[in-house]
Amino acid sequence: MGKKGTEEISTDDVNRELYVRNAELAVRNKTLSLLHKIDDVTERTLETDEMVDEIVHALDAEFSYPFVAIGLCDEKGRRLVWKAFACIDGKSCPFLPVQNMKPLGLASRTNAIALAIRSRRRRVASTLASVLSPSIPEEHVKTFVKASRVKSTLVLPLVSAERPVGALIVGMDRSSRELTAYERDTFSSLLGPITIAIQKAETYARLQRTTKQLREANHKLRALDAMKTEFLSIASHQLRTPLAVMKGYIGLLKGGLLGALQPKQDETLGKMQDGTEQLILLVNHLLDVSRIESGRLVMRLEPVDIRTLLDGVAKFIIGKAQERGLKLSCEIPEFPVMVAVDIEKTKEVFMNLLDNAVKYTETGSVTARMWTEGGMAKVSVTDTGMGLTPEDLEKLFQKFVTGSASKHVQTTTGLGLYVVRKLMEAMGGTAIAESPGTGKGSTFTLTFPLAKK
């Protein structure tokens, strides 16, 4: 008989243990179900206000509390801004909507929310006024206390490792000591995910604001850039006429058509001529840049034997090369090389490269070569001049950028190669630069699509 009694006791113990385990599983399942709902909310929206409002109403619907609220700390952590407030009885909340609730100063020594956030520990508020004041007028707090069934208020701080994020406030119709296992488990499990979700939403909101600010700043910069381009275009046009006149009169004087010149006069006019040529080059480049950037660059593509263009420019430059004691040669195929290009723009490109090659070469030679390869016409200009560093090559085709050797050259605008690349791209071609290094010369290579037969 003693043995039978022992078996019956063991069975009862097992049953009780199973009951406890089942109750725990039921609590855990309910908690997981609510966590899934909250997770669904945080996955569905990245708008902070919308997310917080849905979380508050999900908790309110699940537990039927007299009220549930969430407030978030501002960026400086000095105030708590109310974001969502849900009442089981809407008539008991005369202070809603939540926008009517004033921000709460977190330096307060009496407000339960401020104390909980600073200590990073949950608190049970002694009175509702210690939670809602001074965010809500005193008469509204009294009305709410009378209308609601709130007996205790639980303040749960939402904090991360870096900073306080806000607080979840729960008004209950019973003592906080009467929380069920499900409620305790829910609050322990929810605070972390809610905090992370809010931080994610706040980060998204900051990115949105930054993106908007950048978009507005870019719009203003584009407008300013357009104004600058328009100004450059007008100024350049206005400068061309007087510069052309100056160039003409200097040519007349240098040629002796207005009388013989003394050596010093001739030398001075030579310097004036160089300065005028530099200004004309700058004005022409500025006009090209303004047309390119304003979208007013017009390309008149027509079939042409590109050999004639390169040969013509080389013959124009050869005099300048000879003055510097340089050998300039032009190697072109014996057969026609037909391309569809803007003739004047192509001449300008060739002029830029050959003039630069002569300008940056003190001794040696400049060689222009042309050949066909892979359906393209290729033109290279190689010199034995000052060369380019790897840093030069990275930024050489940008606006107002000159190579490290430009300090040895008087007439340079920093726009020529930028214009070359832009013109080549507009004609469907390319422009690249290569150099073994400083003092070892450089090669600029252009590619033009061959004209279709």
Q: Name which of 8-12, 24-28, 90-94, 177-181 the model is least confident about.
A: 24-28
Task: Determine the average pLDDT of the residues in 359-388.
Answer: 94
2-208: which CATH topology?
Beta-Lactamase (3.30.450)
- In the chain, CATH 1.10.287 covers 219-294
Considering the chain, what is the average pLDDT of its residues?
85
pLDDT at 23: 53
- Highest average pLDDT, of 64-78, 208-222, 325-339, comes from 325-339
pLDDT at 150: 86
Query: In the CATH scheme, what architecture does the domain 302-449 have?
Result: 2-Layer Sandwich (3.30)
What is the C-alpha separation between 116 and 156, in angstroms, rounded? 7
| Neighbour tally for 271: CB within 10 Å | 9
Task: Determine the average pLDDT of the residues in 251-268.
Answer: 86
The answer on pLDDT for 2 being more than 80 is no
What is the C-alpha separation between 408 and 114, in angstroms, rounded? 68
219-294: which CATH topology?
Helix Hairpins (1.10.287)
- In the chain, CATH 3.30.565.10 covers 302-449
The answer on pLDDT for 70 being more than 70 is yes
The DSSP annotation for 13-77 comes to: HHHHHHHHHHHHHHHHHHHHHHHHHHHHHHHH---HHHHHHHHHHHHHHHH--SEEEEEEE-TTS
401-438, pLDDT tens digit by residue? 776 666 666 556 678 899 999 999 999 999 999 999 99
pLDDT at 1: 43
pLDDT at 43: 78
Task: Measure Cα distances from 424 to 32, 87, 398, 412 in Å.
Answer: 64, 69, 14, 20
| Neighbour tally for 221: CB within 10 Å | 10
What is the C-alpha separation between 131 and 155, in angstroms, rounded? 8
pLDDT at 289: 78
Over its C-alpha atoms, the chain yields an Rg (Å, rounded) of: 41
- Token representation of residue 434: 């290569």
- Token representation of residue 65: 């509390």
Sign of CA dihedral 147, 148, 149, 152: negative
Phi, psi of 307 (to 5 degrees): -60, -40
- In the chain, CATH 3.30.450.40 covers 2-208
326-346, pLDDT tens digit by residue? 999 999 999 999 999 999 999
73-119, pLDDT tens digit by residue? 998 889 999 999 988 776 678 778 888 899 999 999 999 999 999 99
Indicate the burial class of 373 (C-beta count within 10 angstroms; 0-12, 13-18, 19 or more).
exposed
141-186, pLDDT tens digit by residue? 888 888 888 889 999 999 988 889 999 999 988 888 888 888 888 8
Task: Determine the average pLDDT of the residues in 310-328.
Answer: 93
Task: Determine the average pLDDT of the residues in 50-59.
Answer: 88
| Neighbour tally for 198: CB within 10 Å | 22
Q: Which pLDDT band, with edges at 50, 70 and 90, does 6 fall under? A: very low
Bin 125: left if φ > 0, else alpha if -120 < ψ < 50, else beta: beta
pLDDT at 384: 95
